[in-house]
Amino acid sequence: MKSAKQIISTITAAGMSAVCLAGAFTGYADTPPSLGDVNGNTIVNASDAAQILIAAAKIGAGGESGLTAEQMSVADVNHDSVVNASDAAIVLVFAAYIGAGGSGTLEAYLENTLKPEPGTYNAGTWKTAAVEGSPGEIVTIPITAENLADGMNAYLVTFDLPHDFVITDFEGNLPNFDIIGNLETGTFAATNFSGENMRPKIDDNVPIFYIDVKIPEDAHSDDRYPLRFSNVTVCSIDMETAEPQLTEGVIIVR
Ligand SMILES: [Ca+2]
Ligand SMILES: [Ca+2]
């Protein structure tokens, strides 16, 4: 749990800095911004991916990104004029590459290395479970997959939670994967950071990660609320992206 707590504090900090950025961010001083380095600390890593996810979620919800124009420019990693989860995925893949002993800038990496693109990778079927709980209770929900091909390197998951349901915590369950998340937007991403097991095998129905969801106090007994994914994107170690089949779960109120 230690690493999970560290990650959560990182996300909390990222979330807060995103809120504060409009006023607090003062630009990149004299050095030109580096592609992917959204928080301007000269390192491109999962914290930048988290900020990209937060911005993408805000944009997706119809709001402002919370980023400056310069930050938006370096956040659009794949140069398609949109800041979204694909950009975060690339940052995560690059961070995994650096974590596995790679070197150089993200820009050079994208020029010289295969870019993530749709391929033949089979992302299988991703599922949320059926769980039961009482009004006001926090229930832990595992996210699992079936027929997920070996070699998943990163995943991005966004939930479409029932109205008034809140995600209160999360925890990754795959060895060598670091997970980041934004509780407010229900967006989670993880990358395999190990150089030793870069083609992990993930068995059917072994939880990939967990989320804790608080059932609203005013939920009615015997009501059933669907727990849907709004998006899941998987990137393989061979830099292929794939969208799995999705099976929705249900939260049953006792
Ligand atoms: Ca950074
Ligand atoms: Ca983009």
Tokens of 235: 């990137």
Q: To 10 degrees, what angle do helices 85-99 and 46-60 make?
A: 170
Q: Are residues 176 and 91 in the same domain?
A: no
Domain around 136: 125-253
Q: Which of 57, 61, 70, 59 is nearest to 22 (CA)?
A: 70
Give residue 239's pLDDT.
74
Tokens of 78: 């794949």
Closest ligand to the CA of 36 = 1
Distance from the alpha carbon of residue 76 to the mean position of ligand 2, in angstroms: 4
Q: Are residues 243 and 153 in the same domain?
A: yes
Give residue 4's pLDDT.
37
- pLDDT of residue 92 exceeding 60, the answer is yes
Q: Are residues 129 and 249 in the same domain?
A: yes
Q: Are residues 143 and 213 in the same domain?
A: yes
Report how many domains make up the chain: 2
DSSP-assigned letter for residue 26: -
Q: Are residues 140 and 65 in the same domain?
A: no
Share of the chain above pLDDT 70, in %: 84
Give residue 138's pLDDT.
98
Q: What is the mean pLDDT of residues 68-93?
A: 89
pLDDT in tens, 165-177: 999 999 999 988 8
Tokens of 3: 């690493």
Nearest-angstrom CA–CA distance, 51 and 217: 31
Q: Which of 221, 210, 216 is nearest to 162 (CA)?
A: 216
Distance from the alpha carbon of residue 73 to the mean position of ligand 2, in angstroms: 9
Tokens of 27: 């630009």
> How many alpha carbons lie under 13 Å from residue 75 in its C-beta half-sphere?
26
Q: Are residues 92 and 174 in the same domain?
A: no
Q: Are residues 89 and 150 in the same domain?
A: no
Give residue 114's pLDDT.
61
pLDDT in tens, 104-163: 999 998 887 766 677 899 999 999 989 999 999 999 999 999 999 998 888 889 899 888
Q: Are residues 162 and 134 in the same domain?
A: yes
Closest ligand to the CA of 79 = 2
pLDDT in tens, 160-216: 988 899 999 999 999 888 887 888 778 888 888 766 667 889 999 999 999 999 999
Q: Are residues 101 and 184 in the same domain?
A: no
Q: Are residues 227 and 131 in the same domain?
A: yes
What CATH number corresponds to the domain at position 234?
2.60.40.680
Distance from the alpha carbon of residue 34 to the mean position of ligand 1, in angstroms: 9
Q: Are residues 137 and 76 in the same domain?
A: no
Confidence of residue 220 (pLDDT cuts 50, 70, 90): very high
Q: Are residues 114 and 30 in the same domain?
A: yes
Among 71, 95, 118, identify where a domain stops.
118
Distance from the alpha carbon of residue 130 to the mean position of ligand 1, in angstroms: 38
Give residue 236's pLDDT.
85
What CATH number corresponds to the domain at position 56?
1.10.1330
Distance from the alpha carbon of residue 251 to the mean position of ligand 2, in angstroms: 34
Confidence of residue 20 (pLDDT cuts 50, 70, 90): very low
